[in-house]
Amino acid sequence: MKPLFIAGPCVIENADVLDIVARELVRLQRTYQLDLYFKASFDKANRTSLTSFRGPGLERGLQMLADVKAKYGLRLLTDIHEAYQAVPAAEVVDVLQIPAFLCRQTDLLVAAARTGKTVNIKKAQFLSGVDMQYPVEKARESGATEVWLTERGNTFGYNNLVVDFRNIPDMLRWTPRVVMDCTHSVQRPGAAGGKTGGNREFVPAMALAAKAFGANGFFFETHPDPDHALSDGPNMIVLSDLEKVISSLL
């Protein structure tokens, strides 16, 4: 199966950042003939602090994503947090993503599946790969024609994540497409004084290890200046470094 790539900024900050990232993704797509999706969130509903930046919201955010699709021809992926968001998001994007913390939420899975869009379910930080059989079944039995699963590490508290790469072959039992979220898996949740920290230097190794275990999709949050990004900066890969990481996987 040809590898799939998902990339983009964590959250929609402004049109300039979207344009900068989209232009580079188009270049990489053409250079390497990539199967690629542009990702950005219109709302980050699970930020550590009430004062953290969440994004432009559903209506404005979807319009900004639609503008990216119109200008650059990129396929889109975004995450939804509540069932009512599924239908309007599906009018714009190609893949609806279910956040890890919400992957057991039946109403959310059913709403996403009924849109007819591909559903990417992120494995919860508190579940094993084997456990993901049941979210997949919920989506498929509700009409989803294509379901992906995404590995993003497990947490045991203490502001850290651990990746058990055995989850990848375990999840390949339930769906042929398993994505490695190479940037969220190096997060340090809540470890930066009311914000999430991270170790982006480990992202290339996470990607290669996941490939060795059979992952056939790779998720990279990326930003032209992640040290000044408004969400998940410490774990996002610098946009200028993305090509080297992608080329190492091909």
Domain boundaries, the chain: 4-249
> Does pLDDT of 38 surpass 90?
yes
| Mean pLDDT confidence for 172-192 | 86
| Mean pLDDT confidence for 75-102 | 98
Mean per-residue pLDDT of the chain:
94
Closest C-alpha to 98, from 76, 83, 116: 83
Please state, in angstroms and rounded to a whole number, the distance separating the CA atoms of residues 48 and 207: 26
Please state, in angstroms and rounded to a whole number, the distance separating the CA atoms of residues 90 and 206: 30
Please state, in angstroms and rounded to a whole number, the distance separating the CA atoms of residues 185 and 172: 19
Between helices 242-249 and 15-32, what is the axis angle to 10°? 30
pLDDT for the residue 188:
74
Closest C-alpha to 182, from 242, 230, 228, 133: 242
Amino acid sitting at position 187: Q
pLDDT for the residue 192:
52
- The dotted CATH code for 4-249 is 3.20.20.70
Single pTM value for the model: 0.94
Question: Reduced to 3 states, what is the DSSP secondary structure of residue 204?
Answer: helix
Which range is least confidently modeled, 26-30, 154-158, 208-212, 241-245? Answer: 154-158
